[in-house]
Amino acid sequence: EAGVAQSPRYKIIEKRQSVAFWCNPISGHATLYWYQQILGQGPKLLIQFQNNGVVDDSQLPKDRFSAERLKGVDSTLKIQPAKLEDSAVYLCASREASTNEQFFGPGTRLTVL
């Protein structure tokens, strides 16, 4: 079974530029999460989708971050404009309904210069 796919693996941009990350969850997983992991810290939830609807985006900085999951499968997370403090690893996870276990992708490491 294929795991959670994310791209790109690495991205370097300058502050005030925009960037987008892509996530393809495990087939059949209705729930998708985006986490932000700043260096030296544990992941923090940014947004949770159930199919194509947002369940929880209370920690998403909505003035610069946006996310969508239009067809209830793939998801994109966008940052516009990026700030230095956005440098982090962005992890995508999807949840298996029967066990409630979350499976994580390899993450995208973003460096903002």
Partner 1 sequence: AQTVTQSQPEMSVQEAETVTLSCTYDTSESDYYLFWYKQPPSRQMILVIRQEAYKQQNATENRFSVNFQKAAKSFSLKISDSQLGDAAMYFCAYRSAGAAGNKLTFGGGTRVLVKP
Which stretch in 60-68, 70-78, 79-87, 98-106 sits in contact with partner 1 by CB under 8 A? 98-106
CB 90 within 8 A of CB 36: yes
Q: Out of 41, 51, 53, 62, point to the residue binding partner 1 (CB under 8 A).
A: 41
Which stretch in 15-23, 43-51, 61-69, 74-82 sits in contact with partner 1 by CB under 8 A? 43-51
Report residue 7 as tokens: 């791209």
Residue carrying the six token digits 């230095």 = 84
Backbone angles phi, psi at 26, to 5 degrees: -65, 140
Q: Out of 53, 56, 84, 113, point to the residue binding partner 1 (CB under 8 A).
A: 56
Query: Does residue 40 bind partner 1 (CB under 8 A)?
Result: yes
Helix, strand, coil percent content, the chain, rounded in steps of 5: 5, 50, 50
φ/ψ region of 72 (left if φ > 0, alpha if ψ in -120 to 50, else beta) reads left
Among residues 29 and 81, whose Cβ is nearest to partner 1? 29
Residues 58-87 that bind partner 1 (CB under 8 A): none
Q: Out of 67, 79, 91, 112, point to the residue binding partner 1 (CB under 8 A).
A: 91
